[in-house]
Amino acid sequence: MEQLFTTEGLIALLTLSMLEIVLGIDNLVFLSIVTARLPIEQRPGARRFGIALACVTRILLLLSLSWLASMTHNVFLEFSVRDLVLIIGGLFLLVKATMEIHGEVEGADEGDSSTRPAASYWGAITQIAIIDIVFSLDSVITAVGMVNNVPIMVAAILVSVAVMLLAANPVANFIERRPTLKMLALSFLILVGVALIADGLGFHIPRAYLYFAMAFSAGVEALNILVRKRHERAQVDGE
């Protein structure tokens, strides 16, 4: 614990916290998409619950590093437990994102989310819990590879979770108000799903490529939003 307050420890904490925050983008986008189907009053609570689950999952994985190391041993043909988790998680993301895109394109009734039964809340929590395991595995393995100090890794996870808690509602509301951004977010989840499956099959796709693609697409959409606002303002002024 004393290493955490040294210069080297603080630099490691800052670096790892930034990395955990970036890796948490996937989780935050998925959280926003899943909770968007819930009644409005249930969404903030479901997001907090989902982020708390992610925090608990990551810390539990950190506290069982020996078991985590054994997950890289082959258990089925040439696949390890880690590979199988990544493949199943990637397939889950592909199916979920594809279903959501289908619902958006087919014009699903927007009022459905406010009239769904209470069981849908736990359905959303279950989906969040499943994908939390996948994202937590990826996050913790990255952390272990960078810093061999459990207190620093736990502190970095807590910092990233605090940032996610602050950003969850604003990000979700921002995506929900803009259908084109929601479609971009769903496309991003498909990219992440493909990357997870590729990792599970032994083909690593650097996350930086995915984040750059998403950032570029979001930048283009931001310009489109500004152009639309200017046109709307010009039409109002012309009237």
Task: List pLDDT tens digits, range 145-178.
Answer: 666 677 888 888 888 889 988 988 888 888 888 7
Per residue in 185-225, pLDDT (tens digit) is: 888 889 888 988 998 888 888 878 888 888 888 888 888 88
Per residue in 197-208, pLDDT (tens digit) is: 998 888 888 878
Q: Is the pLDDT of residue 110 over 70?
A: no
- Residue 144, class by beta-carbon neighbours within 10 Å (0-12 exposed, 13-18 middle, 19+ buried)? middle
Q: How far is CA 149 from the centre of its chain?
A: 25
Q: Is the pTM of this model over 0.85?
A: no
Determine the pLDDT at residue 119: 45
Q: How much is the mean pLDDT over the chain?
A: 80
Determine the pLDDT at residue 156: 85
Determine the pLDDT at residue 91: 92
Q: How far apart are CA 159 and CA 166, in angstroms?
A: 11
Determine the pLDDT at residue 114: 43
Contacts 24+ apart (CB under 8 A), 176-181: 176/32, 176/36, 178/221, 178/225, 179/104, 180/221, 180/224, 181/218, 181/221
Locate the domains of the chain by residue range. 2-238
- Two structure tokens written together for 210: 């995915």
pLDDT band at 65 (very low <50, low <70, confident <90, very high): low
For every residue of 64-88, DSSP letters joined together read: THHHHHHTTSEEETTEEHHHHHHHH
Q: Which residue has the higher pLDDT, 114 or 64?
A: 64
Q: How far apart are CA 59 and CA 57, in angstroms?
A: 6
Q: Is 65 in contact with 54 (CB distance < 8 Å)?
A: no
Read off the DSSP letter of residue 63.
T
